[in-house]
Amino acid sequence: MKKKIAIVTGSSGQDGSYLCELLIKKSYKVIAADRRSSRDNKWRHKFLKIDDKLIYEDFDLGDLNSIVALFRKYKIDEFYNLAAQSFVAASFKTPLSTSEITGIGVLRIIDCIKNYQPKVKFYQASSSEMYGNSKLKFQDEYTKFNPRSPYAVAKLFGHHITKNYREAYNLFLCSGILFNHESPLRGDEFVTKKIVKHLVEVKKKERSHLELGNLYAKRDWGYAKDYVQAMWLMLQKKIPEDYVIATNKSHSVKFFSDLVLKALKFNYKWVGKGINEKAIDKLTRKPLIKINKKFYRPAEVNFLKGSYKKAKNQLKWRPKTSIKELVKIMVDFELKNSSYKNS
């Protein structure tokens, strides 16, 4: 039987790697559309042992010709757009390029779908960051958006233009509004990976302590491997729609740090308040975690908790991994493979 063809942009990233792995298992011909890098950006593919099963194509969300080339070369069944400047903190420093890539980049792709292959099924990686500081107990597909960073504003453009093209041109375009999802393959700068990696280094006496920003921001953290399943499920439906993917639980950065400190069997306690709050070793009284103001954001999102009710009812999807299991997966990986990668 002829293999289905899937394009995955941002395949070198966390989600792209797990999604490529999933699609290969499902016997797709998978085109990994990534930008050229002077560093090794295939380490995740090598780790998952999928690098020799992918077809690599040069691609940049800022370069329309590289997108058109994909539509000229392949008869595409499914197109997953995971590429983005995805780090919220960086978006405050590079707002123009973030808007150009994370926002307008989406339009470049869906305009090609409209013009060249209108039967393509398209997935857009929307984000819970689009909700910003919502006052509600949880966020779902009906919650008002209130973006709090250039990243979130750019994602909201991508989200709305996807919906607009779906309605205006009757195209199969979906957005997954995904809440934070983590894994051993998460980029080093994101808070969960940073906490795990740095505390493992402290444990191994390769680092004196970990520095964090806002300990009290709360996030709905799931496991990336569970979440890429939902992306695929959305494109298997008859009717294109948007779905929230989350765990319906919310925890603070401090709580996540506690889980990691405990998993690594640190004998510690929290002392001090505000900028002086610290986790210290009970015996030596040396700091294990300190606050550094440079990790605070110009505008923070304080609380996110997603309801995945629609995904559960319509996609039969649910999160399978608890936050404690997630911490164990990440800590075990870091203890074994800390020198493996180069992100």
Q: How far apart are CA 1 and CA 50, in angstroms?
A: 22
Q: How far is the CB of 49 from ligand F7E (least distance, A)?
A: 25
Q: Does the active-site annotation cover 127?
A: yes
Spatial CB neighbours of 339, under 8 Å, sequence gap ≥ 6: none
Alpha carbon of 225 to those of 22, 100, 162, 310, 326: distances in Å?
Answer: 9, 28, 24, 20, 10
Site residues (CB under 6 A) for ligand NAP, limited to 311-330: none
Residue 168 amino acid letter? A
Task: Count the residues of the shown chain that bind ligand NAP, applying the rule CB under 6 A.
Answer: 27
Cα separation of 222 and 35, whole Å?
Answer: 27
3-state secondary structure of 29: strand
Q: Which residue has the tokens 């906490």?
A: 195
192: contact with ligand NAP by CB under 6 A: no
Q: Which of 129, 134, 165, 334 is catalytic?
A: 129
In the chain, where do the E strands start and end?
Answer: 5-9, 29-34, 55-58, 78-81, 121-127, 172-178, 181-182, 210-212, 218-219, 222-223, 243-245, 251-252, 268-271, 278-281, 287-291
Note whether 295 binds ligand F7E by CB under 6 A. Answer: yes
Number of residues that bind ligand F7E (CB under 6 A): 22
- Which residue from 107, 110, 227, 89 is spatially nearest to 156, judged by alpha carbons? 107
Question: Does residue number 62 form part of the binding site for ligand NAP (CB under 6 A)?
Answer: yes
Verify whether residue 129 is a known catalytic residue. yes
Beta carbon of residue 172, minimum distance to ligand F7E (angstroms, whole number): 23
User: Minimal CA–CA distance to 284: which of 302, 263, 268, 260?
Assistant: 268
Q: Which stretch binds ligand NAP (CB under 6 A): 34-42, 161-169, 204-212, 320-328?
A: 34-42
Q: Can you say how many angstroms the Cα of residue 63 is from the centroid of all Cα atoms in its chain?
A: 23
Q: Determine which one of 99, 127, 128, 183 is catalytic.
A: 127
> For 257, phi and psi rounded to 5 degrees?
-65, -40
Q: Which stretch binds ligand F7E (CB under 6 A): 2-10, 71-79, 265-273, 296-304?
A: 296-304
- The interface partner of residue 330, options being ligand F7E, ligand NAP, none and the CB cut-off 5 to 8 Å by kind, is none
Q: Is 9 in the site for ligand F7E (CB under 6 A)?
A: no
Task: Give min distance, CB of 213 to ligand F7E, in A.
Answer: 3
Pairing verdict, β 218-219 and 251-252: antiparallel
Return the range that interacts with ligand NAP (CB under 6 A); candidates 57-65, 107-115, 231-239, 262-270: 57-65
Residue 206 is among the residues annotated as catalytic for this protein? no
- Compute the least distance from the CB of residue 9 to ligand NAP, in Å: 6
Residues of this chain that interact with ligand F7E (CB under 6 A) are: 86, 88-89, 127-129, 179-180, 189-191, 194, 212-214, 217, 219, 253, 295, 297, 300-301
Residues of this chain that interact with ligand NAP (CB under 6 A) are: 9-10, 12-16, 34-35, 37, 41, 59-62, 82-86, 101, 125, 127, 178, 180-181, 187
What residues are labeled active site? 127, 129, 151
